[in-house]
Structure 1
Amino acid sequence: MSEPIPESVPTSADPRSKRPLKRRALTPVAEQATQIESLFRDPTKEIQIPEPSKPRTSASLPPPPEIVANVQGSSAGAGSGEFHVYKASRRREYERLRLMEEEVKREKADEEFERKREETKRKDEEKTEKNRKKREKRRAAKSRRLAGSNGDEEMKVDKPPTKTVGPASTSEGVPSHGDQVPPADKLETAHEEPGVIIHEED
């Protein structure tokens, strides 16, 4: 162990040192705080936000070579560098095939999602239409009930009375003036056809 003399103290911990202390972000919160502080030091400075990276597709990769010159087999004569060339071309081809398979899977997943969404939308529309028809039926039945109950109050059915055709008389039994009394043999009772008589109430 070193002696507790000024020479044994680390340079960064020495109070005589003019070097700034290294500030290390210990937690993600502290790291984010330092980033925000550095941004707020100069608010007029324009912030460069990088564009989102485009997903790699098989079309973004260079196409495989159509003609491969100097093809080396597994027999003797292949140089030491040919193995690495083969490994690199094989890796590129596997990457291209993997991206093509991912595109096919994504297209299938999109089709499945669209199909499910259309089916759900159709079911929802059918259910909405069914509920709308139910509501209309209930409204119609309610309006018929209300109309029927109002009509019963307004219309009163009585038995058809037998009407005697004769002179109109006053309360005293004396014919009112202006009326002529027909002879007794001419008086006859007129019968009306039975039906509904509507009395309008005031």
Structure 2
Amino acid sequence: MAAQPPKNGAGRGGKPPGKDSQPLIIAKTPAEEQRLKLERLMRNPDKPAPIPDRPKDWNPRAPPEFVRDVMGSSAGAGSGEFHVYRHLRRREYQRQDFLDKMSEKQRSDLQYLDKVEENQRAAQERTAKRRRKRDKLKQKKLKAKKAKEEEAGKEGKSSSGSSSSSDDDEREADDDAEAPSFIMGKK
């Protein structure tokens, strides 16, 4: 029995049947390259997109434990020894610069955290001060209200000349219970 070729002709080109062949497009600009990548991702939206990990911070190589026979850049060193000395010196300077930058970064981070803490403390102090002021105003209003009720009760019993003292008390209570300065626009 002879093998029959596929009816749709998909098996001849070496590609699996059912796959659409995409023309090869070479990106000429970075924008076009980005567009092609997005189109490829959007062909199959169910497939998760690869997200690369964040690059690790660069760390310099550790200083050598023991350097053998390095004469330095002075007279008497061999022709190849100077290059060894120069590379070791460059690496050491690079390592010291890295350590300096790391200590500077740590110092600035600590300063930032201290400043944030100080700002929070100052905000809490302002809030507490305003809370005390509000409570004080409430207490004065309550005292004025109680005094007014007592005066009204006394006047009901005796309507003699104590009305002038109650007017003075009311004026004092109104003066003491004036609105906070930040509402009135005063400093």
Query: TM class, shorter-chain normalised?
Result: 0.5 to 0.7
Question: Cα offset for 1:86?
Answer: 2.5
Q: What CA distance in whole angstroms lies between the structure 1 residues aligned with 2:92 and 2:130? A: 57
In structure 1, the residue matched to 2:91 is 92
CA contact (8 A) 1:64 1:93 kept: yes
In structure 1, the residue matched to 2:28 is 24
In structure 2, the residue matched to 1:149 is 148
Question: Cα offset for 1:126?
Answer: 1.3
Deviations 1:11-32 (A, max 9, x none): xxxxxxxx96644236x4x443
RMSD over equivalenced CA pairs, Å = 2.7
Q: Secondary structure at the match of 2:52?
A: coil
Q: Which stretch of structure 1 is more off in the superposition, 36-45 or 129-138?
A: 36-45
In structure 2, the residue matched to 1:67 is 66
Name the CA shift for 1:107/1:152 in 2 (closer, same or farther; >3 Å).
same
Q: Which stretch of structure 1 is more off in the superposition, 41-50 or 116-125?
A: 41-50
Report matched runs for 1:112-191 at 5 Å.
112-155=111-154, 156-158=156-158
Alignment length (residue pairs): 136
Query: Scaled by the length of structure 2, what TM-score is found?
Result: 0.61
In structure 1, the residue matched to 2:78 is 78
Deviations 1:133-183 (A, max 9, x none): 1000001111112222223223324289xxxxxxxxxxxxxxxxxxxxxxx
CA contact (8 A) 1:56 1:99 kept: no
Name the CA shift for 1:159/1:113 in 2 (closer, same or farther; >3 Å).
closer
In structure 2, the residue matched to 1:49 is 51
CA contact (8 A) 2:63 2:92 kept: yes
Report which of the two has the higher share of helix: 2
Name the CA shift for 1:32/1:150 in 2 (closer, same or farther; >3 Å).
farther
Q: What CA distance in whole angstroms lies between the structure 2 residues aligned with 1:67 and 1:42? A: 56
Q: Secondary structure at the match of 2:34?
A: helix
Q: Secondary structure at the match of 1:62?
A: coil
Q: Secondary structure at the match of 1:36?
A: helix
Question: Cα offset for 1:46?
Answer: 4.0
Identity value in percent: 31
In structure 2, the residue matched to 1:176 is none
Aligned-partner residue type, residue 24 of structure 1: K
Q: Secondary structure at the match of 1:150?
A: helix
Query: Scaled by the length of structure 1, what TM-score is found?
Result: 0.57
In structure 2, the residue matched to 1:34 is 36
Deviations 1:68-111 (A, max 9, x none): 112134324513x4333233222211111011001110121122
Q: What CA distance in whole angstroms lies between the structure 2 residues aligned with 1:95 and 1:22? A: 41
Deviations 1:179-198 (A, max 9, x none): xxxxxxxxxxxxxxxxxxxx
Question: Cα offset for 1:112?
Answer: 1.2
Structure 1: any 5+ residue segments left out of the alignment?
A: 1-18, 161-202
Structure 2: any 5+ residue segments left out of the alignment?
A: 1-22, 161-187
Aligned-partner residue type, residue 56 of structure 1: W
